[in-house]
Chains A and B, each alone.
Chain A
C-alpha cells in the first residue's frame, strides 16, 4: 500500500474522530464527555510510560511525580491572580507565583517542559541504576515530589491544593494533545532512533558494542516520556478543576502502568486500545463499590473495591498473557484493509 493512500486514510480517521467529538459535544451528557476526556488524557499518559518502559525497557514508576509537576505548573499559570489571592489562605503565595500568567496552550507546554527538565535532572543519577532498583528509585522520586508539594505552601498551597482551576481542557484540547502525542511517539518509535531505544531494551551490551551511547539514549527517552507525563498532568488538572498532593499517589502511576501492561509493552496500538477500555471499565466498575442487596439482606459497598478487581485482572494478565492484548504488534492500514477485503470476499462467495 503506498504512502499517499495511507496519508489519506490517516486524514479520514482524524476527520472521523473530529466529527465524533463535534457530535459528542452537542449530544452527550457531562458525565460521558468527562469519560471521553479521561480517555484522551490516559492515552497520553500511557504513551509516555510505554515509551520509557515498553520501548526503552526502563522500569520507571515516577509517572505520578511528573504529572504533579505538569499539573501544578499549568494550574499556577492559568489561575487568575484574584483566584490565587483567594486560594492561598495558609500563607500568601510568592510574588512570582501570584503574578504568573499564561494562555492555556503555553501553560500546558510549560508544564510538560518543567516535568521534562526535572526528568532530565533526576534521570542523570537514577538511570545508572538497573531494572528493579530504577523502579524503586523512581517510585521514591514521585513520593518526594508529592511531599514537596505538601510542604511548599507558598507555591502549591500545601495540603489544600488548588480549586476552581479554569476548565480549559475540553474535548478538543485533550484529543488534540492526544493526537499530537500519538503522532510524536509513532514518528519517534518508527525512526532509527526508535530502533536504538528498542535495541537498548533488548540487549544493552550489544547496543554499547554498536557504538550507542546507552546512557544518553536512556536519558533522552526518559526526558521525552517525562514531558508527555507533564502534559497529561497539566490537562488532568484543568479537567478536574482541582488538584492537591493527595491526588498524586502511587495509585495514579498504577492506573497508567495497568493500561500499558494490558495493552502490551512496546505496542502503541495496545496503549490506545487499553486506554479506551480501562478508562471506561474504571468508571463502569464503580457499581462494585455500591451496596448490593440480596433479598432484603444488604452487602455494604466497599470503597476501593474497583482497585481490587483491577489488581486481580492485572495479576491474571501477567500470569496468562504477559505480552498484553497486542504484544509488540501494531495496527496498520494494510492489515485493516486486508481484513476488510477478506471479509467482503467471504460474504460474496
Chain B
C-alpha cells in the first residue's frame, strides 16, 4: 500500500445467497482526492459503500483504511476511525432540530457522558456549549445557520442533503462517502454542490468518494472514476478516459450506442 493512499479495497466481494452483488472490487483512493463510483442502477455501488462503512460484512476481500484492516468492523467503529457517510435516501433524525442533528453527529467525539450532564457538572456544561458552537459553525459551512431551530423534516430537499453532509462532517472524518449527493437537485443547486464539495475537501482535509448519476458532477469534480456494472468493475481511470470508454458507454446506453459513437 502506497503512503498516499487513504483507503484501499482488495478483492471486495459481496454475495447475497446466489446473487453476487459486488465481485472482486479493488480500488486505491489517494489522500485528499475526490473520486467517483458510477454505474447503472443495481450495479452494486451502494453495496460497496455498505461494505466500506461496516454495514455489510464482505463475503471476501479486505478494506484497508490508513493502512489498518477494518474489514467487518461494526459501523460505529468505522465512523470512530474517521469514515463518515451520507445516504442515498436521506436519513435525517426527522423529529429533531437542524442543530440537534449536527450535535448528534459530534457525540462520538464528546468526552463527558450522560451522568455528567444529569448532574450539571461544569465540565459537561462547558463541553455542551462547545459542541453547540461547533455545530453552529458547521451549519454556517452548509449555509443553514438561519434554520438551526427548525425541525429537520421541515427543510426543503436540497437543504436536507446539505444537513446530512454537515452531520457527517460533525463526526470529524478524514474520509467522506457521499451517496448520490446531487439526486433531486436542479442545475443551479448541482453547480453549487460541486463548488461546495471542493470547498469542504480543502477546508477539512478530506478525501471524498461519491456515488453519482449526474455525469456533469462526476466528470466535473472527480479526479478518478471507477465504473461498476452488474457488480463487476468494467473500467477505471480519469474522467476523460471514462467518457470515451466503449465498455462504459455500452453499460449505460446499450450496444447500439457504441456502434454510433
Q: How many residues of B contact A (CB 8 A)?
A: 37
Interface contacts (Cβ under 8 Å), in number, total 101
Contacts of A328 in B (CB 8 A): 95
Do A205 and B91 have beta carbons less than 8 Å apart? yes
| B74, B75, B100, B114: residue with the most chain A Cβ atoms closer than 10 Å | B114
| Cβ contacts B168-187/A at 8 Å (1 or 0 each) | 10110000000000000000
| B199 part of interface (Cβ distance < 8 Å) | no
Do A199 and B93 have beta carbons less than 8 Å apart? yes
| A131 part of interface (Cβ distance < 8 Å) | no
Asked whether A195 and B107 contact (CB < 8 A) given A203-B91, A206-B92, the answer is yes
| B165 part of interface (Cβ distance < 8 Å) | no
| A196 part of interface (Cβ distance < 8 Å) | yes
| B53, B75, B108, B110: residue with the most chain A Cβ atoms closer than 10 Å | B75
| A194, A196, A201, A206: residue with the most chain B Cβ atoms closer than 10 Å | A206
| B94 part of interface (Cβ distance < 8 Å) | yes
- Please give the distance in Å from B211's CB to the nearest CB on chain A: 15
Asked whether A211 and B117 contact (CB < 8 A) given A192-B107, A205-B91, the answer is no
Contacts of A196 in B (CB 8 A): 104, 107
Asked whether A211 and B114 contact (CB < 8 A) given A192-B103, A195-B100, A328-B95, the answer is no
Do B128 and A210 have beta carbons less than 8 Å apart? no
- Please give the distance in Å from B110's CB to the nearest CB on chain A: 6
Contact of A199 among B80, B104, B120 (CB under 8 A): B104
Do A214 and B76 have beta carbons less than 8 Å apart? yes
- Please give the distance in Å from A204's CB to the nearest CB on chain B: 10
| A184 part of interface (Cβ distance < 8 Å) | yes
Q: How many residues of A contact B (CB 8 A)?
A: 27
Do B108 and A212 have beta carbons less than 8 Å apart? yes
Do A210 and B114 have beta carbons less than 8 Å apart? no
Complex Cα gap A199–B167 (Å): 12
Q: Which 10 A-B pairs have the closest CB atoms?
A: A211-B79, A191-B117, A211-B108, A193-B114, A206-B91, A208-B75, A202-B93, A187-B118, A199-B104, A199-B93
A residues sitting closer than 8 Å to B (CB atoms) are 184, 187-188, 191-196, 198-199, 201-203, 205-214, 220, 266, 328
- Sample of 15 further A-B pairs with CB below 8 A, known A210-B104, A211-B80: A187-B120, A188-B114, A193-B107, A193-B113, A201-B95, A203-B92, A205-B91, A206-B92, A207-B93, A208-B74, A209-B84, A209-B91, A210-B108, A210-B168, A211-B75
What are 9 pairs between A and B in contact, CB < 8 Å?
A: A194-B117, A195-B104, A203-B93, A208-B74, A209-B53, A209-B55, A210-B79, A210-B171, A211-B79
